[in-house]
Structure 1
Amino acid sequence: MEPDTGGRSGDRGWWIGLGIIVLAGLALRVAYVWFFRRGIDLQGDPVYYHDAANLLADGKGFINPFAYEEGRTVQGADHPPLYIVYLALFSVLGLRSVTAHLLASCLLGAAAVGVGGLAGREVAGRRAGWLTAGLMAVYPNVWRFDGMVLSETMVIFTVMLTVLLAYRCWRAPSGLALAWVGLSAAASTLARSELGLLLPLLVVPLAVGTARRLGRPVWRLIVAGIGAAGVLLVPWVVFNLVRFDRPVLLSSQMEVTLAVSNCESVYYGDLIGYWDLRCGREILDRHQIRAEFSEAEAQRALLEDTLRYMGDHRSRIPTVIAARVGRITGVFRPRQQIDIDVGAELFPRRVMEAATISYWLLVPFAIAGAVVLRRRRVPLYPVLAPGITVLITVVLFYSSMRFRATAEGPLCLLAAVGATALVSRWWPEERAPAWDGPAAGPGASHQDDQSERDARSGANAAITS
């Protein structure tokens, strides 16, 4: 049966339904910003994004806004540029206030809802598409970032776009489709640098599968995907290599990130597995350095002292890693994590409590969704790769609920698949989704094609019966 996907169907009713869900998601976000976040005092990273966007719009380039407030012009790459550029587009139009940037983030969040709906439909049909969009519209772990001027809003959008394009490439494999996936993964990397892991975890496996289906050399398809990603990434990397007096690729946060996540309070104290900004400042004070964390002298001191500390306490590292993974999965000190997100990250307590409860409500359905896709022989790695990047990042650095934003959209998609499969047992979809997979390559036989179709039909029948 021909897959029922949004990109190939003229189903006006489905598109109207998706539009209503997107508008509802936008209304929720705007109401949250207007009634609860308007005029808030930003701190930390939100200040950086907000001020950096305005400075970029003023023609100052990518400079450190904290140093600029002190009368110094210092090149800045504390964060990758995509979200800053997005906000700067509104600043150029005169929309420069914190509230304006929050509302701009709401638009991006609503766009993520729409892309999530398309991804859900691509994977599991009309009903799953609507439900994916609906979950992303109301799930607090998605919309809460739209009220904080944080790049996680951009991350959720670009990650879901990458998932959508990956599944479309698997259905209709081609070098061009793979290049689009590479571009989208690169855009995610320019939103948060650790998402460069999507290139080996998603783009490369997809290239291997595409090469097998098309009967082309694997290396050519890998070059197509990674090369397309390079179109977006290389200019930023070269720009950084030219303007800094030390090697900086995507961002300049590596040293300070290691410093605040490998010290006494996060190895042995109550903050085990989290991070503590005081650790970095203590290192600079010990060396009598009064520069910003991102400046060369500070970076050298941070890295040297941190590596020395890790070496002296290496027996503690496995315990710390376990705490990091426990925090990000919500099984280790969840109440304390809520307190941290309220006190340090400045999210409203009720929002964080709702986010924690709703996360645990979604997890069982997401696990069921993964099982359903596995039985339907739908590849899982495009929707699991974002979550794997979160785990790798947490293991290497520290645990923060902000990191999990990368996986929240895919979590909604898997939960939608699981829920719709359950509902379909009693209320079958009129046009039930089928995964016919990509066209076979030139070397595949007709018998192989038929056996694959029979196997898929049997799996789908077993699920919906």
Structure 2
Amino acid sequence: MLAGSRRSSTSRAAERRLGSAFVWTLVAITLIGFGIRVFYILDDRAPLVHKHAPTCSQELQGDAIFYHCGAQLLADGKGFINPFDYDLRNHEVNEAAEHPPLYILYLWVPTVLGLRTPVEHMIWSAVLGAATIVLVGLAGREIAGRRAGLIAAFFAAVYPNVFSHDGVLTSETMSIFTATLSIWMAYRFWRAPSLWRAVALAAAIGLGAMARAELFVLVPFVLIPMVLARRQVPWKRRLRWLGASALVLVVIIGPWVGFNNTRFRKPVFLGLGQGITLRSATCDVTYGLNKDWDRNFGKLTGYWATKCVLGDFDKIRKRHLDQSEAETVYRNAAYRYMDKHGGHIFLFSTNARVVLARWARITGIWDLLHNFQQVDLDHFPEGREYWIAWGGLVMFYAFALLSIVGVVVLRRRRIPVYPCVALFLMVFIVITIMFGQNRYRASAETALCLLAAVGVDAILERWRARGRDTADATPAGADRRAPELVTAKPGP
């Protein structure tokens, strides 16, 4: 009995040592990842900022203006308004809800503390990126053990398709964080289901929807099946868990939805960016029907083009429509074009060639067939450095292959894969409806890191097992060197 107690004490001590080693290694990986992000920001992104621009909207380009300047306007008490109109149209105030508010609220925190410059906001985003590395490590440990967690964290630390978003000042930094949080919460619930873990999963998904609206699909894709699949739990209890989860979602999302519907003339849910996004992908240029454009700029089938929305934009400005009304104009124009060229997209009868092009762009197949055009598009107009675009593509190919191994391993271990796979399904839904660009894959990139890490961990375990088998098969006292080393004669 004393010997058994001693063995138990030794086992607990070993477990504590392993746990401590995991924590400190994860801290080291996180610091490395944070250092990479800060270096990237200071070396590559900071020089792109127009430091002496007369207005906030002229400091940056693209969607970064909406988030960076939107946070400043919010901190100044202006509310959620259009920063372009305010800066460039003599302080014209127009309510805005192009995107859900979570990332703007995150940037609002340093802004009210006096940290208002683009670079300061980028560093603050890098802090969130570092937190994502921690979540990836914890999620990986929950899925497949400590080593898999550390491998996944390292992947997230060095993967350009994850860390580059922190220096671009777009909501992908927040959506990656909340998507990873949702994965971790899902596997924690799967390991030990309870009311509080169901509520935590719902909260993570709710926060995700407040970062990128499409993350709301994790409710039917992950939350509901995860709760209903707990067959060892009585039906009534599972339904109570779902009811509590629904309440949490309402508490997180409801205030923003209610606020939106007091500001606009038409109903608004999480955001108003879908119409213009859809319209920017539905014209002859993006359907591959404008041969002159193709010759001058390259084939943009399945992508987007500013040319698609210019006519509608002018009409909206002349009619003084608010954003909810403009959304309807863009959406209806897109529907009319799609009906004319193959059918309504939501019935999945649109031009199949365009949908296939979108899928090819998001999976990297388009690059292989079209001289890596997506790399060039990532550089311009998306604004990524070439080394980021190339590094992200090469690592994506490697992770995609390893993730297939990871999925097979998890299936054999009877560990659910749908909390990770659901994010890829979400991406495919979005790009099928909208257009194909690598930015839309951002929310699923850490899921790719996790599945790839499971694959690497399984490969390492297989090699380790083979080494043990070889050692066990060698007779005691025999020379364990390779046979050719034992029998070979010395050279001259």
Contact kept in structure 2, 1:327 and 1:337, CA below 8 Å: yes
Verify: 1:295 aligned to 2:323, yes or no: yes
Contact kept in structure 1, 2:264 and 2:323, CA below 8 Å: no
- Structure 1 window deviating more from structure 2 (343-352 vs 221-230): it is 221-230
Contact kept in structure 1, 2:302 and 2:358, CA below 8 Å: yes
Verify: 1:97 aligned to 2:131, yes or no: no
| Cα distance in 2 for residues equivalent to 1:250 and 1:426 | 49
- Structure 1 window deviating more from structure 2 (222-231 vs 392-401): it is 222-231
| Cα distance in 1 for residues equivalent to 2:185 and 2:244 | 15
Contact kept in structure 2, 1:291 and 1:297, CA below 8 Å: no
| Cα distance in 1 for residues equivalent to 2:328 and 2:235 | 46
| Cα distance in 2 for residues equivalent to 1:134 and 1:422 | 17
**Which amino acid in structure 2 is aligned with residue 44 of structure 1?**
G
Aligned to 2:98: 78
| Cα distance in 2 for residues equivalent to 1:320 and 1:293 | 31
- Taking the TM superposition and a 5 Å limit, the aligned residue runs for 1:454-465 are none
Contact kept in structure 1, 2:361 and 2:367, CA below 8 Å: yes
Residue 77 of structure 1 deviates from its aligned partner by: 0.4
Q: 1:104 to 1:425 in 2, by over 3 A?
A: same
Verify: 1:162 aligned to 2:190, yes or no: no
Q: Residue deviations 1:305-343, cap 9 Å, x none?
A: 222111111165221111111111110135111111101
Secondary structure of the structure 2 residue equivalent to 1:38: helix
- Taking the TM superposition and a 5 Å limit, the aligned residue runs for 1:29-428 are 29-41=37-49, 42-69=60-87, 70=89, 71-210=91-230, 212-217=231-236, 218-269=238-289, 270-285=299-314, 287=315, 289-290=317-318, 295-314=323-342, 317-333=351-367, 335-427=372-464
**Which amino acid in structure 1 is aligned with residue 300 of structure 2?**
L
Contact kept in structure 1, 2:312 and 2:330, CA below 8 Å: yes
Higher-RCO chain (CA-CA 8 Å, sequence separation at least 6): 1
Number of residue pairs aligned between Structure 1 and Structure 2:
421
| Cα distance in 1 for residues equivalent to 2:392 and 2:319 | 37
Residue 261 of structure 1 deviates from its aligned partner by: 1.4
| Cα distance in 2 for residues equivalent to 1:293 and 1:129 | 50
CA RMSD, Structure 1 to Structure 2 (Å): 1.9
Residue 294 of structure 1 deviates from its aligned partner by: 6.1
Contact kept in structure 1, 2:316 and 2:326, CA below 8 Å: no
- Structure 1 window deviating more from structure 2 (20-29 vs 304-313): it is 304-313
Contact kept in structure 1, 2:96 and 2:323, CA below 8 Å: no
> What TM-score do you get using the length of structure 1 for normalisation?
0.87
| Cα distance in 1 for residues equivalent to 2:83 and 2:36 | 31
| Cα distance in 2 for residues equivalent to 1:257 and 1:38 | 28
Unaligned runs of 5+ in 2: 1-10, 50-59, 290-298, 344-349, 467-492
Secondary structure of the structure 1 residue equivalent to 2:232: helix
Residue 292 of structure 1 deviates from its aligned partner by: 8.2
Contact kept in structure 2, 1:369 and 1:418, CA below 8 Å: yes
Aligned to 2:4: none
Unaligned runs of 5+ in 1: 430-465
Q: Residue deviations 1:188-220, cap 9 Å, x none?
A: 11111111111111111112123x221133433
> What TM-score do you get using the length of structure 2 for normalisation?
0.82
Contact kept in structure 1, 2:71 and 2:105, CA below 8 Å: yes
| Cα distance in 2 for residues equivalent to 1:24 and 1:320 | 41
Secondary structure of the structure 2 residue equivalent to 1:87: helix
Q: 1:26 to 1:321 in 2, by over 3 A?
A: same
Contact kept in structure 1, 2:272 and 2:324, CA below 8 Å: no
Residue 258 of structure 1 deviates from its aligned partner by: 1.7
Aligned partner (choices 21, 31, 42) of residue 23 of structure 1: 31
Q: Residue deviations 1:272-322, cap 9 Å, x none?
A: 11111221112233x474478963453343233222111111165221111
Q: 1:34 to 1:291 in 2, by over 3 A?
A: farther
Secondary structure of the structure 2 residue equivalent to 1:266: coil
